[in-house]
Amino acid sequence: MEKSITLNEFIIHQQAEFPEATGNFSCLLHHIGIAAKKVNREVNKAGLVDILGRSGCENVQGEEQQKLDVYANEAFMEELQASGECCGIASEENEDVTTFHEGLCRNAKYIVCMDPLDGSSNIDVNVSVGTIFSIYRRKSPIGEAAVLDDFLQKGSEMVAAGYIIYGSSTMLVYTVGRGVNGFTLDPSLGEFCLSHPNIKTPASGKIYSINEGNYEKFPVGIKKYIKYCQEKDAKTNRPYTSRYIGSLVADFHRNMLKGGVFMYPSTDNHPNGKLRLLYECNPIAFIAEQAGGLAFSEEGRILDLQPEAIHQRVTFYAGAHDMVMKVKEFLNFFN
Ligand code: AHG
Ligand code: MN
Ligand code: MN
Ligand code: MN
């Protein structure tokens, strides 16, 4: 029986490829894995304990915070601080950034932007949810409090990006810019084990993911692209299949493995798009590109966008290379 490679073993092996690596990043990633296991434990027993439902608070997004939003946020904040390698966090659930620069964290050189619980609307109905994270090197001097500019770096500056999907199994998928690797949690070991080495997304596919409830307000190019997906044309494998479950991580993960395109255009409620650049679009874009796909906004390549604010929203088109190029073609031609 082949020995499974655990996340920690993989991180250490990968660290050996970076001569300048000092283990700080490996330690940070290890603590992210611990936080993921804590959240997974709560997600798995949601419904049995008082972790479901609304927390009674609202977050800076004006969203009703779910108890699991709050729990996941606290679990990741706690582990990131405990790693001693993180000097600051920008989280969907906190209005401002949180910084650590004393004690264990005084020499920390990384900052993290995270969506602690993605797909919150699905928690109470037992549909997959996720966590999304991105890691940057701080730009401000080590030993001082991290500053806003440390968090407003372009996605192209990212050191690593990843997500955890709490689904039929729990997976951690991440990249450090050398391809994408997926690890499945083995509950009997309590370890994430390498299950999807070097993930490459198909150049094209049959799945398109979009909330068609917003159709009326879509850009004309997107309305035309949706009609294109629905037309019968054997040569280009159409009509495609519509799949959308309202959890970005789950929709993206399925499309990355099977071949598809995820779209969140401008809508009435969200004229600049709903998804947040720092902790949803940038990390997913890095993973999409590392898996051979693409990720664009109506303003251009996601990883090239200069963030202006930590909760900034952008339009988002990500997935299979040829499908994203086709979406861009329709947007450029009709808009
Ligand atoms: P979050 O739960 O972190 O606030 O993110 C929800 C996001 C994303 O997961 C999903 O793709 C999108 O919201 C769904 O939005 P709609 O319900 O408007 O389609
Ligand atoms: Mn939310
Ligand atoms: Mn989210
Ligand atoms: Mn969230």
ipTM of the complex: 0.98
What number does the ligand 1 atom closest to the CA of 213 have?
Answer: 19
> Cis omega before residue 239 (within 30°)?
yes
Query: What is d(CA 153, CA 150) in angstroms, rounded to the nearest whole number?
Result: 6
Minimum mean pLDDT range among 40-44, 198-202, 286-290:
40-44
How does residue 48 score in pLDDT terms, banded at 50, 70 and 90? Answer: low
Residue 20 pLDDT:
63
Instruction: From 55, 247, 266, 277, give the residue whose CB has the most ligand 1 atoms within 8 Å, as the site to mutate.
Output: 247
Amino acid identity of residue 28, one-letter, is L
Residue 49 pLDDT:
58
pLDDT digits (tens, 9 = 90+) for 131-160: 999 999 999 999 899 999 999 999 999 999
Ligand nearest to the CA of 63: 2
Residue 292 pLDDT:
98
Instruction: From 39, 242, 280, give the residue whose CB has the most ligand 1 atoms within 8 Å, as the site to mutate.
Output: 280
Residue 4 pLDDT:
86
Q: Name the H helices within 114-236.
A: 148-151, 220-230
- Contacts with 326 (C-beta within 8 Å, 6 or more apart), sequence order: 225, 228
Residue 50 pLDDT:
60
Residue 175 pLDDT:
96
Residue the block writes with tokens 């005084």: 106
Give nearest CA residue, ligand 1 atom 12. 246
Residue 45 pLDDT:
76
Residue 46 pLDDT:
62
- Phi/psi region, residue 311 (left: phi>0; alpha: psi -120 to 50; beta: rest), is alpha
> Own/partner pairs for 209-213, CB < 8 Å, 24+ apart?
209/242, 209/243, 209/244, 209/251, 209/255, 209/260, 209/261, 209/262, 209/263, 209/319, 210/242, 210/244, 210/262, 210/263, 210/264, 210/265, 211/244, 211/246, 211/264, 211/267, 212/242, 212/244
Residue the block writes with tokens 């604010």: 309
Q: Cα(128) to centroid of ligand 2, in Å?
A: 14
- Contacts with 235 (C-beta within 8 Å, 6 or more apart), sequence order: none
Per-residue pLDDT at 54 exceeds 80? no
pLDDT digits (tens, 9 = 90+) for 103-138: 888 899 999 999 999 998 898 888 999 999 999 999
Residue 21 pLDDT:
64
Minimum mean pLDDT range among 53-62, 109-118, 182-191, 230-239:
53-62
Give nearest CA residue, ligand 1 atom 1. 118
Per-residue pLDDT at 307 exceeds 80? yes
Percent of the chain with pLDDT over 70: 96
Q: Cα(110) to centroid of ligand 1, in Å?
A: 27
264 φ, ψ to 5°?
A: -130, 90
Residue the block writes with tokens 């499309």: 255
Residue 198 pLDDT:
97
Minimum mean pLDDT range among 54-58, 219-223, 234-238, 307-311:
54-58
Q: Cα(63) to centroid of ligand 2, in Å?
A: 6
Within the chain, strands assigned E span: 54-58, 64-66, 86-91, 98-99, 110-118, 129-137, 160-166, 170-175, 180-186, 191-196, 207-209, 241-242, 260-264, 294-297, 300-301, 316-319
Average pLDDT, the chain: 93
Question: For the whole model, what pTM was predicted?
Answer: 0.95
- Length of the chain in residues, anyone? 335
Q: Cα(237) to centroid of ligand 3, in Å?
A: 31
